[in-house]
Structure 1
Amino acid sequence: MFQSAFIGLDVHAQTVVACALNTATGEVSRTKMSSEPEVVLDWIQKFPTDSQTVYEAGPTGYPLARHLREHGVDCVIAAPSKLLRAPGDHVKTDKRDAMGLAKILSLGEVAEVRIPTMEQEALRDLSRTRLQAQKTLKLAKQRLNALLLRQGVAYPDTKWTLKHMAWLHQQHFGQAGTEFSYQADVELVELLAAHLNRLDQRIKEIAPACEYARVIDALMCMRGIALTTGFGLAVEVGDWTRFTGSSIGSYLGLVPSEHSSGQKRAQGSITKAGNTYARLLLVEASWHQKPTFDRPGLRLQRQFDLVDSTTRITALKGNHRLADRWAGFEKRGKLRTKANTAIARELAGWRWALAAPLQEASKQVPAFSKENLMAA
């Protein structure tokens, strides 16, 4: 009989393969069931209440984990890239995957994925929708430019301004197929640009009232961080207090890879682990740290008025520090792309220094306020 159990779930859209392992006796219980959260919960509740459950992060998201936690089940989600697998193991089945998860959970070797609330996930969905819209618009512009170049037509001034768009509408081609394709591409660019603008407007409306509002204001005190970038970083990282100033760079995949053995130490390109979107935002923002920083401009001055003095001082130190770092790299003749990656890694640390104290303080406020209310 099971005194306690470690339960591994291999979750798919329609089915779940489960394996419960009793490490004391070696007893194993397996089943295949529907992926409905109620069905999974009923099976798990057959085991002792101190049992633990794990499944891999994937396209099915977090509803199952939230449902299990709401009903008192200790459920975690494992990061797939951190799971232990033997290099020579070339047999992969749902049963073996579930058993492997149960074993790893019993060893305490699960690298957990943070489970966001439904509100936090909704904010992240909005940010990622904007990212996809931005990528799609970029591809549409590239296709339009390529078509014009194939026809020997080039615009001599800055592109994608109102003047440029008016010029695009004046272009026509003799071949019916080319003309139709060109007009369709122009129309698509305009539609996608309007779609992106609507998303930006929605973010502008939501950001001041969301739970990350103070963090977004703090992040925007650094150069290169506008509202959409600050919103994206805040919702993608979520809880900044999980990290330290040095570990945030590792989480975002901005530290060098390494393969060292014995007396030999070899470092390579960055690991590119963790959150791809947050890393992209940091790398793009790092290019804005290059110009010399003497004093804050008008945008930063307005932003400083929205934050407390501690945040303002930290942001000023960060802006000066990163500008000096860029100057040092330029003086040494460092490759610009490598220099920018190094700046992005340090920028991640400054972002943490701005966001983490605010979130740490907000975690302490509710308990204090509740005690005061009870005392009153």
Structure 2
Amino acid sequence: MSRSVIHLALELSVTSWLIAYRFPWSDKVRLQRVSAGDSAALLTLVSDLREKAAVRLGPDVILASCFEAGRDGFWLHRLLTDNGVVNHVVEPTSILVTRGARKAKTDRLDAQGLLRVLAAAFAGDREICRMVRTPSVDEEDDKRPHREREYLVQERVRIENRIAALLATQGVLKRPSLRTWAADLDALRTGDGRPLPPCLKAELDRLRRRLLMTLDMIREVEAAREQAMEAHDGPANQTVKALCKLRGLGDNFSAVLAKEVFYRTFDNRRQIAAYLGLAPTPFQSGAMDRDRRINRAGNSRARKTMVQLAWLWLRYQPESGLAQWFRGRVGELQGRTRRIAIIAMARKLLIAIWRFITVGAVPEGAILAA
């Protein structure tokens, strides 16, 4: 079968796609460039390659392709799969590269490198790179609400900080209330007793309007999420409802964990910790064998959520086994020691929540919401 596989690698960029391919009977790598997003030209090339190979090898020809995960998302993967191509989405950071001081970087070299990686992976080498698990259309769309809310909250914080910074330049340390904005702004005086300059007041008012619009959008996203929870009782929403039973987990954290992490299946606790980048990095050389800091190679959004949840767990589940472990390990220490320990607790809490979701085991000493 290995003699009947056409390997195809796509190097994607904003303006063009460089396609490298190789026939089973030749070691020569051929290149073809098409405009970015030109799926018709790509499918035409796929059809031509299949016809040429069928003349020599018969109809049972396999087309295997790959491209790196990035800004183009997964629509191209679905297009190729629907047209009979065995496609893989490669995690870019998992590809081994030369450690020389200067590495040549061209689309041609990248496409040829991807082609070699694909050939090795298709031949059975599972260590050559890591393939991304492509979500379904519904799974991908389910992630949109909590991600949009995250961006809106970041925008809200940015606007609030900008308002505070502008006021601080005038010696004003308290932001006017949004409910009585006009009156409060007129009453404000600078640190040297002057009223606020007119251009500054106009800029602050525009920032206020942007802030109000952002707050309305956040409420809109949250309302739509609640309606979707009531209207659809799919596996992800069931997981959200189950997580909300634990005291300290609200709708936002539960949605992130359910739709970023627990829509997948994991065989063991190390797999799930590695998916979030919370697993320690092993370091073994000669007589030295120890674990170093976490690799941070996983889902950064879920990892950040778990670290925030670990701090909240100490507040809302103070009598749980994990909270007692943290206090016993850290005591009254502050600073770096406490920040390191909270990462370890986030990993333990993640595994405890995973067991709660999969087998119903409530974390030791945890209180369920009323």
Band of TM-score, shorter chain: 0.7 to 0.9
**Counterpart residue number, 1:61:** 73
CA contact under 8 A between 1:241 and 1:356: conserved in structure 2? no
**Counterpart residue number, 1:177:** 199
Map 1:242-261; keep pairs closer than 5 Å. 242-257=266-281, 259-261=283-285
Distance change in 2, residues 1:293/1:286 (3 Å): closer
Q: CA deviation at 1:117?
A: 1.7
Counterpart of 1:254, as a letter, is L
2:112 to 99, 123, 135: 99
Distance change in 2, residues 1:58/1:69 (3 Å): same
**Counterpart residue number, 1:303:** none
CA contact under 8 A between 1:245 and 1:353: conserved in structure 2? no
Map 1:219-234; keep pairs closer than 5 Å. 219-234=243-258
**Counterpart residue number, 1:297:** none
TM-score, normalised via structure 2 length: 0.79
Any idea what SS the aligned residue of 1:283 has? Answer: helix
Distance change in 2, residues 1:324/1:174 (3 Å): closer
State the alpha-carbon separation in 1 of the partners of residues 289 and 170 from structure 2. Answer: 53
Distance change in 2, residues 1:222/1:340 (3 Å): farther
CA contact under 8 A between 1:244 and 1:352: conserved in structure 2? no
Q: CA deviation at 1:76?
A: 0.8
**Counterpart residue number, 1:271:** 295
Q: Which sections of structure 1, spanning at least 5 residues, go unmatched?
A: 295-318, 359-376
Counterpart of 1:7, as a letter, is L
Percent identical: 22
**Counterpart residue number, 1:218:** 242
Map 1:51-130; keep pairs closer than 5 Å. 51-88=63-100, 90-108=103-121, 109-130=128-149
Distance change in 2, residues 1:106/1:71 (3 Å): same
Q: CA deviation at 1:152?
A: 2.6
CA contact under 8 A between 2:270 and 2:279: conserved in structure 1? no
Any idea what SS the aligned residue of 2:4 has? Answer: coil
State the alpha-carbon separation in 2 of the partners of residues 176 and 327 from structure 1. Answer: 53
CA contact under 8 A between 2:248 and 2:316: conserved in structure 1? no
**Counterpart residue number, 1:199:** 221
Which of the pair is proportionally richer in helix?
1
Any idea what SS the aligned residue of 1:5 has? Answer: strand
State the alpha-carbon separation in 2 of the partners of residues 5 and 110 from structure 1. Answer: 19
> RMSD of the TM alignment (CA)?
2.8
CA contact under 8 A between 1:10 and 1:17: conserved in structure 2? yes
CA contact under 8 A between 2:248 and 2:317: conserved in structure 1? no
The question of 1:138 aligning with 2:138 is answered: no
Q: Which sections of structure 2, spanning at least 5 residues, go unmatched?
A: 54-60, 122-127, 187-194, 361-370
CA contact under 8 A between 1:10 and 1:56: conserved in structure 2? yes
**Counterpart residue number, 2:212:** 190
Aligned residues: 328
Q: CA deviation at 1:10?
A: 0.8
Q: CA deviation at 1:51?
A: 3.0
Any idea what SS the aligned residue of 2:285 has? Answer: coil
**Counterpart residue number, 1:284:** 308
| Greater relative contact order structure (CA < 8 Å, 6+ sep) | 1
Counterpart of 2:321, as a letter, is R
State the alpha-carbon separation in 1 of the partners of residues 350 and 251 from structure 2. Answer: 17
Show CA shifts across 1:251-275 (max 9, x none): 1112334554333456554322221
Distance change in 2, residues 1:226/1:269 (3 Å): same
Map 1:291-302; keep pairs closer than 5 Å. 291=315, 293=317
CA contact under 8 A between 2:9 and 2:111: conserved in structure 1? yes
Distance change in 2, residues 1:143/1:253 (3 Å): same
**Counterpart residue number, 1:301:** none
Q: CA deviation at 1:194?
A: 1.5
